Chains A and B, each alone.
Chain A
Amino acid sequence: MLFQKIWVFLKRDFLTASSYKFAFFWDAAGIIGVMLTFFFISELFQNTQAPLLEPYGGNYFSFVIIGVAFSTYLGSALGSFGGQIGMEQGIGTMEALLMTPTKISTLFLAGSVWNILFTSIRVAFYLLVGIFFFHMEVKGVNFLALTTTLVLSLIPFISLGIISASFILVFKRGEPISFLFHGASKLLAGAFFPVAVLPLWFKKLSMFIPLTYSLKALRGVLLTQSTWQDIGPDLFILLLFSLCLFPLSVASFKYGLKVAKRQASLVHY
């Protein structure tokens, strides 16, 4: 039954997204625009020594595209759940969904599949365009290590997304999680530059951000053929983030739902 539920959600989201055909075009154009920007920045520094990039293979373009591409997972997970709730409240389908005997956790899981799939396609598009058109250097990838890193990164990202959705349920707009984690993560976790560039107290803050460990492990797997031993400590910390954040997110969502039902504000937006 779970697979059929995931299937109908996928079908709903695909049909809705594909009915806005022009949006697909501009999304792809946006990705190419970002890549061109970083390509030319990287060209600017091509012949200069950047010792802080050495642990990542030394090529800034490859470094930054991985940072930009994979941090979209965080943005997508953070926006996905809150966005889904906001959308259902806005278009008026929230009560109809909650009137079904499907568990909230299933609604969330099934409802997020399209977003994760679509983000994966965007990430693959980034990498493929980077490799084939901008000479991005990706070396002997261990796909099992890559998948494990992605899964262990997605759990804390999704948990933060569910906590953000709890705020949307109660306050409708202006949730703080996206602001704190999305913007700050890109700055502190090293999406655009190595964390080593940051001053010490910024570096300390970056240790509390899951994206820091995700990007470190992903760059290791994709750019420098890191072994399981190399990425093991990062995966362990991501696992700890998952174990702490996921139960917290479920509890916060249950509480948010209870408050919204008490306030009779499930359909307000």
Chain B
Amino acid sequence: MSCSIEASNLTKIFKPSKNIFSLRSPTAKTIAAINQVNLTVNKGEIFAVLGPNGAGKTTLIKILCSLIIPTSGTAFINGYDVVKNEHKIKSLVGLVIGEERSFYWRLTGRENLEFFGVLHNLPLRQVRKRIETVMELLKVEDPDRRFQEYSTGNKQKLALGRCLLTNADVIFMDEPTKSLDPGVASRLRQFIKEILVQKENKTVFLATHSIQEAEELADRIAIMDKGLIKTCVSVSELTDGRDSLLDMFKQCTRT
């Protein structure tokens, strides 16, 4: 099976900024947001990183999407270095940000998708056709209303829709079902599993702090805490009945 994502000894250290004009003594400490992370994700796999708030999941995703430069270590997407081949990486990956502020609120859903679609190097005519397909597929309500008037569920669907426009091989999702009601969240998970992965053979890398979401979606799950990957298990190992994921999570994140 070919490898889609590969990270080796990936580390990101944040040092407190040295403000020479500050009269106060520095209080912030150096933090290893991610520390010596090694992982491989196969093509067509759903890989979940599960961890509490501040575990380093978002930092890891942003490094893999070339949005943050790591302090040390290497990472490759489909064989391309995330630091050296930034431009290529951006045409390979899609990022679904759980942050609803990543759209223009005074434009409609359709206008937002049109804007981002063209910036993904798709001709306008093709973007318009794809928008219709994506809206239909995700059942986005009122595509011609301003984004600021959308419900949380609709905003999240649009974030996924933006990613689907581009035909990215590898999709990163940061808390994709955050603040969605259980019904919408469940349908979105079903869509990710059945359409994105089983039908379109995309690789999905998911960051979540929901145990249920990780169990329901992923083929393999890594538990992350304080920048370290504490363990990585396949869902089949979990169903063999040793420990439950909740027990493992508690063990790994115990302070």
A and B associate:
yes
Chain A interfacial positions (CB closer than 8 Å to B): 1, 4-5, 7-9, 11-12, 15-16, 19, 91-93, 95-103, 107, 258, 261-264, 266
B230 within 8 A of A: no
Which residues of chain B are within 8 angstroms of A101 by Cβ–Cβ distance? Answer: 87, 90-91, 119-121
Contacts A1-B123, A95-B97 given; indicate if A264 touches B106 (C-beta within 8 A).
no
Residues on A with beta carbons closer than 8 Å to the beta carbon of B101: 91-93
Q: Count residues on chain B whose CB falls below 8 Å from chain A CBs.
A: 36
Residues A264 and B14 in contact, CB atoms below 8 Å apart: yes
What chain B residues lie within 8 Å of A16 (beta carbons)? 104, 106-107
B93: A residues at CB distance < 8 A: 99
Q: When the two chains form their complex, are residues A4 and B104 in contact, meaning their CB atoms are under 8 A apart?
A: no
Chain A nearest CB from B56 CB (Å) reads 11
Closest CB in chain B relative to A12 CB, distance in Å: 5
Nearest B residue to A106 via CB reads B119
Q: Does B115 contact A (CB under 8 A)?
A: yes
Partner of A5, one of B14, B17, B105, B119: B119
Q: Given A93-B103, A95-B102, decide whether A100 and B14 contact each other with a Cβ distance below 8 A.
A: no
Closest Cβ of chain B to A112, distance in Å, is 15
User: Given A93-B103, A99-B90, A101-B91: A264 and B62 within 8 A (CB)?
Assistant: yes
Write the chain A residue with the least CB distance to B93.
Answer: A99
Cβ contact within 8 Å between A92 and B121: no
Chain A residue at minimum C-beta to C-beta distance from B14: A264
Interface of B is mostly: mixed
Please tell me which one of the listed residues B68, B114, B124 contacts residue A264 in the complex, with CB atoms under 8 A apart. Answer: B68
Q: Bound state CA distance, A97 and B120, in angstroms?
A: 9
- Closest beta carbon of chain A to B161's beta carbon, Å: 13
Instruction: Tell me whether A8 and B67 are in contact (CB under 8 A).
Output: no
B87-101 residues at the A interface, CB under 8 angstroms: 87, 90-91, 93-95, 97, 99, 101
**Residue with the highest number of chain B CB atoms closer than 10 Å, among A7, A97, A264:** A264
User: With A and B bound together, what is the CA distance between A88 and B114 in angstroms?
Assistant: 18
B69 at the interface (CB under 8 A from A): yes
Contact A15:B107 (CB < 8 A) given known A8-B115, A93-B101, A98-B67? yes
**Contact partners of A91 in chain B: CB under 8 A:** 101, 104-105
Whether B118 contacts A4 by the Cβ 8 Å rule is yes
Nearest chain B CB to A11 CB, angstrom units: 7
Chain B, range 63-103, C-beta contacts under 8 Å to A: 65, 67-69, 87, 90-91, 93-95, 97, 99, 101-103
Taking the closest CB of chain A, its distance from the CB of B47, in whole angstroms, is 19
Contact B69–A1 (Cβ < 8 Å): no
Q: A-B pairs with the 9 shortest C-beta distances? A: A92-B101, A100-B119, A101-B90, A96-B102, A101-B91, A264-B68, A8-B118, A102-B119, A261-B69
Chain B contacts of A100 at CB under 8 A? 90, 116, 119-120
Contact status B119-A261, CB under 8 Å: no
Check if B111 sits within 8 Å of A11, measured CB to CB: yes
B119 near A15 (CB under 8 angstroms)? no
In the complex, what's the smallest C-beta–C-beta distance from B222 to chain A, in angstroms? 21
A7-B124, A261-B68, A263-B14 are known; give 13 further A-B pairs, CB within 8 A.
A8-B118, A11-B114, A16-B106, A16-B107, A19-B106, A91-B101, A91-B105, A95-B95, A96-B103, A102-B119, A102-B121, A264-B14, A264-B68
The minimal Cβ–Cβ distance linking A13 to chain B, given in whole angstroms, is 10
Q: Which residue of B lies closest to A15 (CB)?
A: B107
**In the complex, what distance in Å separates the CA atom of A16 from the CA atom of B62?**
29
Contact of B12 with A by CB under 8 A: yes
A-side contacts of B123, CB under 8 Å: 1, 4
In the complex, 8 of the A-B residue pairs with CB atoms within 8 angstroms, ordered by the A residue number, are: A8-B119, A91-B101, A92-B102, A93-B102, A95-B102, A101-B91, A101-B121, A263-B14
